């Protein structure tokens, strides 16, 4: 079964809600809202919000309960792409076959669009009820997105040329830059479901392994990163082991974790056969 | 009495807490944390956090109670300066006699430093207790900083060349770009004190008038903005009226509002005598 079919209901909810919240958020000046919408609707897989909803289900909650944190992490992911694409960073002209945000709207607007997506991501968390759940989500998501997580990884990736040549350095960068937002996506779903501390621990283990695996698989497909600090075979084994560990962590949750297992298998299938 | 003497205890607390929270937040990679600290400690007046603490006192709270939102708005203000100074935006090389963040650390790091300050500002709000107060602060501060507030004003300022030539256009841009963060600073202090709805309303009126006045006075000193859409005399009268309205709004709070009155008088004194 394809990703799109398996997660049909999750994806439909995510697309619909992204559209409605961004539409409802429109105000003068219109241009920034158009740019936010442009950046959000570029045909991505919605891996992170799907993961939020699936983790919520895995802990016994209805996936709809986790929609606000799901949208929030997708907006944070989107802002990070908009800023990463900027001339001063990766200087990318195209993303998924479309001009990048700064190519389409200019550099100043792209900087502000990223800022706006990040700000709106936190504004959405303020709508979560009850308040203590909202605050837990805010604490976890902000930490994972900041200098102890995604931004820290991005800075290390830009600045630590020596570290990048080592496996330890690569692990650090990958866990921070890519892994933390995926880890916290899983965790946010669990928090939304009102998971027990045991469930939270298992889901977090899953998210940590899956997050690092995500980057290793990306590097294998790009023949970059991990393929340069270890052999292709070594990177492949590393990815497979991490994916197995992710599935093991949530084995105890039984059939409810079928979405999480599907996501892990989905990553596994992306690894090229020898 | 000078601003520095009147607010000695407030300023001491703000500087001390900014230092300790940024120090405690340090982690690998160190460079981004150094850049955050560089941006935060540039000898600013701390107008917004002083306002947060003063508004808390005006509603009967101890000013120390409002320290987290005070730090949060200062970090948001700082991030906005770091991003505004970038080559794609205002392209400023110097700020308060020191090289701007991108001049000191490079453009990529300055973009990420702004992102990190914004993210950390929200992370701090997650530490506010009780949770329902934290969520109120999050909702108000994120909205005031986003496209319905500060970012929206910045976009309009960049893009609406025609609107800027009118008084209406200038009012919109100034209320959004400068006014909203000042309005929400006052409001955040009131929320922190557990203010009544009547007090909240008065404090918000004060903040709204003070925030717009702040921009009008800035424009008078720079001979820019309002001085171009109305006469210098007109701008001066507008600023004085707004400051009077701000003071009127909090007159009902009595002696407790002495900090708010001092801030209003402080703005008034900045207006050049004919």
**Structure tokens that stand for B222 in this block:** 């720079």
Closest-CA distance, B254 to chain A, in angstroms, reads 33
CB atoms B118 and A116 under 8 Å = no
Q: Which of residues 190-219 of A touch B (CB under 8 A)?
A: none
Q: Which of residues 49-68 of B touch A (CB under 8 A)?
A: none
**Kind and range of the H or E run holding B260:** helix B258-270
**Structure tokens that stand for B210 in this block:** 């003070």
pLDDT digit string, tens, across residues B128-138: 999 999 999 99
Closest-CA distance, A73 to chain B, in angstroms, reads 13
CB atoms A152 and B114 under 8 Å = no
**CA–CA dist A175, A165 (Å, integer):** 16
Instruction: Return the closest-CA partner of residue A191 out of A74, A67, A73, A59.
Output: A59
Closest-CA distance, B141 to chain A, in angstroms, reads 8
Instruction: Return the closest-CA partner of residue A69 out of A186, A163, A172, A222.
Output: A186
Predicted confidence at residue A10, as pLDDT, reads 98
Q: Considering the domain boundaries, does residue B74 fall inside one?
A: yes
Chain A contact for B172, CB < 8 A? Answer: yes
Domain of residue B19: give its range: 3-269
Closest-CA distance, A125 to chain B, in angstroms, reads 8
- Residue B273 gets which letter from DSSP? P
* Cβ atoms within 10 Å, residue A93: 10
Residue B270's alpha-carbon distances to B10, B173, B236, B267, in angstroms, are: 21, 21, 11, 5
Long-range contacts, stretch B18-21, CB < 8 angstroms, 24+ apart: B18/B71, B18/B74, B21/B71, B21/B124
CB atoms A29 and B159 under 8 Å = yes
Region of residue B91 (phi > 0: left; psi between -120 and 50: alpha; otherwise: beta): left
Long-range contacts, stretch B163-172, CB < 8 angstroms, 24+ apart: B164/B229, B165/B228, B165/B229, B166/B229, B167/B229, B167/B230, B169/B229, B170/B225, B170/B226, B170/B229, B171/B212, B172/A28
Within 8 A of A116 by CB-CB distance, chain B residues are: 146-147, 151
Chain B contact for A83, CB < 8 A? Answer: yes
Parallel/antiparallel/unpaired status of strands A98-99 and A94-95: antiparallel
What is the secondary structure of chain A as a DSSP string?
--HHHHTHHHHHHHHHHHHHHHHHT--SSHHHHHHHHHHH-S----HHHHHHHHHHHHTT--GGGGHHHHHHHHHHHHHHHHHHTSTTTT--SEETTEE-HHHHH-HHHHHHHHHHHHHHHHHHHTT-SSHHHHHHHHHHHHHHHSTTTHHHHHHHHHH-TTGGGSHHHHHHHHIIIIIHHHHHHHHHHHHHHT--HHHHHHHHHHHHHHHHHHHHHHHHHHT-THHHHS-HHHHHHHHHHHHHHHHHHHHTTGGGGHHHHHHHHHHHHHSPP-
Q: Coil, strand, or helix at residue B94?
A: strand
Within 8 A of A106 by CB-CB distance, chain B residues are: 88
Closest-CA distance, B269 to chain A, in angstroms, reads 33
Closest-CA distance, A21 to chain B, in angstroms, reads 13
Chain A contact for B162, CB < 8 A? Answer: no
Measured N-to-C along each axis, helices B197-222 and B167-174 cross at an angle, to the nearest 10 degrees, of: 120
- For A106-173, give the secondary structure using H, E and C: CHHHHHHHHHHHHHHHHHHHCCCCCHHHHHHHHHHHHHHHCCCCHHHHHHHHHHCCCHHHCHHHHHHH
Size of interface A-B (CB pairs under 8 A): 158
Instruction: Return the closest-CA partner of residue A213 out of A274, A228, A221, B29.
Output: A221
**CA–CA dist A139, A93 (Å, integer):** 34
Chain B contact for A107, CB < 8 A? Answer: yes
**Structure tokens that stand for A273 in this block:** 């056969």
**CA–CA dist A224, A220 (Å, integer):** 7
pLDDT digit string, tens, across residues B47-103: 999 999 999 999 999 999 999 999 999 999 999 999 999 999 999 999 999 999 999
Chain B contact for A88, CB < 8 A? Answer: yes
Q: Of the candidates B126, B147, B155, which has its C-beta nearest A138's C-beta?
A: B126
Closest-CA distance, A80 to chain B, in angstroms, reads 9
**Is the distance from CB of B36 to CB of B124 less than 8 angstroms?**
no
Within 8 A of B116 by CB-CB distance, chain A residues are: 146-147, 151
Predicted confidence at residue B164, as pLDDT, reads 86
A83 to chain B: closest CA residue:
B111
Within 8 A of B134 by CB-CB distance, chain A residues are: 131, 135, 138
Q: Which of residues 128-157 of A touch B (CB under 8 A)?
A: 130-132, 134-135, 138-139, 142-143, 145-148, 151-152, 154-156
Q: Of the candidates B79, B88, B112, which has its C-beta nearest A155's C-beta?
A: B112
Predicted confidence at residue A164, as pLDDT, reads 86
**Is the distance from CB of B98 to CB of B81 less than 8 angstroms?**
no
CB atoms B135 and A112 under 8 Å = no
**CA–CA dist A82, B170 (Å, integer):** 29
Total domain count, chain A: 1
Closest-CA distance, A156 to chain B, in angstroms, reads 6
**Is the distance from CB of A22 to CB of A14 less than 8 angstroms?**
no
Chain A contact for B255, CB < 8 A? Answer: no
B34 to chain A: closest CA residue:
A147
Q: Of the candidates B108, B138, B160, which has its C-beta nearest A88's C-beta?
A: B108
Peptide bond into B101 cis (omega under 30): no
Closest-CA distance, A78 to chain B, in angstroms, reads 13
Within 8 A of B120 by CB-CB distance, chain A residues are: 142, 146-147
B177 to chain A: closest CA residue:
A29
Chain B contact for A28, CB < 8 A? Answer: yes
pLDDT < 50 positions in chain A: none
Provide the CA B84 distance to its chain's centre, in angstroms.
14
CATH number at residue B176: 1.10.600.10
Instruction: Return the closest-CA partner of residue B220 out of B186, B263, B177, B267.
Output: B267
Q: Considering the domain boundaries, does residue B274 fall inside one?
A: no
Backbone angles phi, psi at A99, to 5 degrees: -55, 140
pLDDT < 70 positions in chain B: 274
């Amino acid at each position: 079964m394809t990703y799109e079919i398996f997660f049909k209901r999750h994806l439909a909810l995510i697309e619909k809600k992204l559209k409605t919240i961004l539409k409802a958020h429109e105000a003068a000046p219109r241009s920034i809202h158009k740019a936010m919408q442009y950046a959000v609707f570029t045909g991505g897989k919605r891996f992170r919000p799907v993961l939020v909803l699936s983790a919520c289900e895995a802990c016994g909650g209805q996936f709809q309960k986790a929609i606000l944190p799901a949208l929030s992490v997708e907006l944070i992911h989107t802002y990070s792409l908009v800023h990463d694409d900027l001339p001063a960073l990766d200087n990318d002209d195209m993303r998924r076959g479309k001009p990048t945000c700064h190519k389409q709207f200019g550099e100043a607007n792209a900087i502000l669009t990223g800022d706006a997506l990040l700000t709106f991501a936190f504004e959405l968390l303020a709508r979560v009820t009850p308040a203590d759940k909202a605050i837990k989500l805010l604490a976890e998501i902000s930490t994972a997105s900041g200098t102890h997580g995604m931004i820290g990884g991005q800075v290390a990736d830009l600045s630590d040329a020596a570290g990048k040549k080592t496996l330890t350095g690569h692990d650090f960068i990958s866990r921070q830059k890519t892994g933390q937002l995926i880890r916290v996506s899983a965790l946010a779903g669990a928090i939304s479901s009102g998971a027990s501390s045991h469930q939270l621990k298992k889901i977090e283990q899953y998210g940590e392994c899956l997050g690092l695996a995500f980057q290793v698989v990306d590097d294998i497909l790009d023949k970059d990163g991990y393929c340069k600090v270890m052999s292709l075979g070594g990177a492949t084994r590393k990815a497979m082991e991490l994916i197995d560990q992710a599935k093991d962590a949530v084995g105890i949750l039984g059939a409810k974790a079928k979405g999480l297992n599907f996501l892990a298998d989905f990553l596994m299938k992306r690894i090229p056969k020898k």
